[in-house]
Structure 1
Amino acid sequence: MPTSPGSPVGLHRVLEPAGVLPQAAQRLDPAPEIWPDEVRISVERLNLDAASYRQLSEAHGGDGERVKQAVLEIVEARGKMQNPVTGSGGMLVGVVDEAGPESPLGVRKGDRVATLVSLTLTPLRITDGLTRWDGRSEQVPAEGHAILFARSIVAKLPDDLAPELSLAVMDVCGAPALTARIVQQYVDKGTKPVVSVIGGAGKSGSLSLAAAARAGAARTIGVVPFEREAESLRAAGLADVVAIADARDPVALAKAVEESGGPADITVVCVDVPGCEHGAVLSTAAGGTVIFFSMATSFSAAALGAEGLAADVTMLVGNGYVPGHADYAMDLLRTEPGVRGLFEARLAAEAESDRQD
């Protein structure tokens, strides 16, 4: 073990190119020996972010074995999991294997934890060849190790929830926290906003709908692409109105939101497909706010599209971190039956698919 602390943001783990932060690096050093302010995690499960997994699956024709090999090749080549197409990664759960004496993260050997920083900047080595994963789900059983820096973020997993459920929630916990913050800002100014969540039946979408309602939204609109998702969202009771629209069709999306009580004062984009930027802008009221949580978002398309539409909207990038975000998301899961039901149904469907394979 080195005797002096490393860079708190992980510069000492960057192999190339020199001078960039770990997220922007082409290759990181995943060596297991830790610096005094680092933590080594024994990996149990990865959670690939939705945009990354969708891209990999579509690129390989849904062939799980090829998806698996692609993930292994990325991690081996880069020393981290960062999809070269989407630029995104995900997060992981595991057990603390060793904590350096100068680590400020507040965890110790034996703690089961979830990393709340992206796999795109987390040194990672996989040692089991992902033999327990069929390549057909975002959650990836894995063995190996990962390294956390002094400025990484980590949360201990709660004892009352299955690790798979905790992982699914913590993967998207930044979305509801930021949604609640923005809604609260409107409320504090005397306006109860109409909130539209595109992708409302998904993980981040369902949590964002619950957060918007709790923060004081006047109306919540959940937008989904198919009737089966609409049925699930209606049953969950998380949206005042459920609208069906293809978010890639700007005119159809704007019409669906308007017919549901819009335009929206706040639009939250939680879908994992590209091409939803213009619809989000067009369905948002003048002076409103668009929050992009999807890693499939083209921020140049969003900015230039808003300009071309002469749309006076504030656009925010959801960076995944808001102080207290993990606890807030877990509280929503525990207290909102509709949220928990959607999450558990999603996990059950994935488990059933694994059994059939």
Structure 2
Amino acid sequence: MTSAIGLHRVIEPAGVLPQAASRLDASPAVGRDEVRVAVERLNLDAASFRQLSEKHGGDGDAVRAEVLEIITSRGKMHNPVTGSGGMLIGTVQEVGPDSPLGLVPGDRVATLVSLTLTPLVVGDGLVGWDGLTEQVPCSGHAILFGRSVAAVLPADLDAALALAVLDVCGAPALTARVVAGYERPRVAVLGGAGKSGCLSLAAARRAGAALTVGVVPDEREAGLLRGSGLADRVVVADARDPVGLAAAVGEPVDVVVVCVDVPGCEHGAVLAAAAGGTVVFFSMATSFSAAALGAEGLAADVTMLIGNGYVPGHAGYALELVRTVPGVAGLFGRRLWPDRVPVGFGAPVGGCVVGSPAASD
């Protein structure tokens, strides 16, 4: 008997949910409320990819071998060090008769649930991936449960762009919700030039922020973010240096959004927040015990939120931002196609980002 939350796919340990399992059953037979997807591409989350790349000194072959070993041994892509995975795109192959997801065979979809809980088999040995980028072309299959979330890929955007946006679509939606709860708040986004960071800056401004501050680690990223026009102020600071970060931000802000992919940024985020403010953690590199105990030790009256990646309507909201905010489109294009998209360039044209392969074809 199938379970809408995937309990029947857990091999070990018994009694836990799929995300906490050490191993899943990724067999292709579809239960009554399940969906099987032919996988086209994985998107490893930033914290996981950084950890693997640094562990292997940038050796793409070694990274590829470890990712393949994780998937093969665990039946899912679940980095045991970071505890994170990513998401995927593919084409629906088979739909169980009781599936509530509204998908039909042939739909090209992005899964909006983590690979850490998605049964996954890769059958090509990842031979098409060099191990040097977060996006992993591959072939295989994945299983979605009755309570999984998936979105049909938009026809007007390049698939690689849509995948990159949907991978972080929870960040701008929750940022907008938090910002809207204040009267013209000041907002700082740590990692403002990254995927979730630039979307969060755009969402904060659209939701009524009086000031947006983008924090980046170096002058290269500062130049990219300044060229995008998404932040009222751009500051360079190491988010792992609490005192230095707070000094760079200046007057404490009402909302701090953490979108960096390295550990150790918890205390700086708390110091940068004003009394009564909110810190939103989107990075899977976050230590939530460090955040809670650090705030206690600082006597900081701040609300701390864990961005869980799901807000109703989050996929459509993020895609609309990339369609309508040129600075967001430009930064995503720069990340995906660095040789094709100039800094600050990327206005949507005919539904595709200027400079992307789709726009150039």
Q: Report the TM-score when normalising by structure 1.
A: 0.94
Aligned counterpart, 1:109: 105
Which of residues 41, 49, 59 is equivalent to 1:53? Answer: 49
Quote the Cα distance in structure 2 between the aligned partners of 1:305 and 1:294: 17
Aligned counterpart, 2:68: 72
Aligned counterpart, 1:40: 36
Confirm or deny: 8 A CA contact 1:205 1:270 kept in the other structure.
yes
Aligned counterpart, 1:327: 316
For 1:1-357, what aligned pairs fall within 5 Å after superposition?
6-186=2-182, 191-258=183-250, 262-349=251-338
CA deviations on 1:7-44 (whole Å, 9 max, x unpaired) are 00000000001110000001000000010110000000
- In the TM superposition, residue 349 of structure 1 has moved relative to its aligned partner by 2.7
The farther-off stretch of 25-34 and 343-352 is 343-352
Which ranges of 4 or more aligned residues in structure 1 deviate by more than 6 Å?
none
User: How many corresponding residue pairs?
Assistant: 341
Q: CA RMSD in A?
A: 1.1
Q: Secondary structure at the match of 2:51?
A: helix
Q: Report the TM-score when normalising by structure 2.
A: 0.93
Quote the Cα distance in structure 2 between the aligned partners of 1:19 and 1:171: 28
CA deviations on 1:110-133 (whole Å, 9 max, x unpaired) are 010000000000000000000000
Q: Structure 2: any 5+ residue segments left out of the alignment?
A: 342-361
Amino acid at match of 2:286: T
Q: Secondary structure at the match of 1:18?
A: coil
Distance 1:264 1:332, change over 3 A: same
Quote the Cα distance in structure 2 between the aligned partners of 1:210 and 1:53: 25
Amino acid at match of 1:230: A
- In the TM superposition, residue 194 of structure 1 has moved relative to its aligned partner by 0.2
Quote the Cα distance in structure 1 between the aligned partners of 2:89 and 2:204: 28
- In the TM superposition, residue 350 of structure 1 has moved relative to its aligned partner by 8.5
Confirm or deny: 8 A CA contact 2:334 2:340 kept in the other structure.
no
Distance 1:351 1:47, change over 3 A: farther
Quote the Cα distance in structure 2 between the aligned partners of 1:305 and 1:174: 25
Quote the Cα distance in structure 1 between the aligned partners of 2:99 and 2:253: 44
Q: Secondary structure at the match of 1:140?
A: strand
CA deviations on 1:303-338 (whole Å, 9 max, x unpaired) are 111111111110000000000000000000000000
Q: Secondary structure at the match of 1:12?
A: helix
Q: Secondary structure at the match of 2:292?
A: helix
Q: Secondary structure at the match of 2:222?
A: helix
Confirm or deny: 8 A CA contact 1:137 1:350 kept in the other structure.
no
% identical aligned pairs: 72
Q: Secondary structure at the match of 1:349?
A: coil
Q: Secondary structure at the match of 1:159?
A: coil
Quote the Cα distance in structure 1 between the aligned partners of 2:303 and 2:340: 40
The farther-off stretch of 299-308 and 119-128 is 299-308
Quote the Cα distance in structure 2 between the aligned partners of 1:74 and 1:118: 15
Q: Structure 1: any 5+ residue segments left out of the alignment?
A: 353-357
Aligned counterpart, 1:355: none
- In the TM superposition, residue 185 of structure 1 has moved relative to its aligned partner by 1.1
Q: Secondary structure at the match of 1:76?
A: helix
Confirm or deny: 8 A CA contact 1:27 1:78 kept in the other structure.
yes
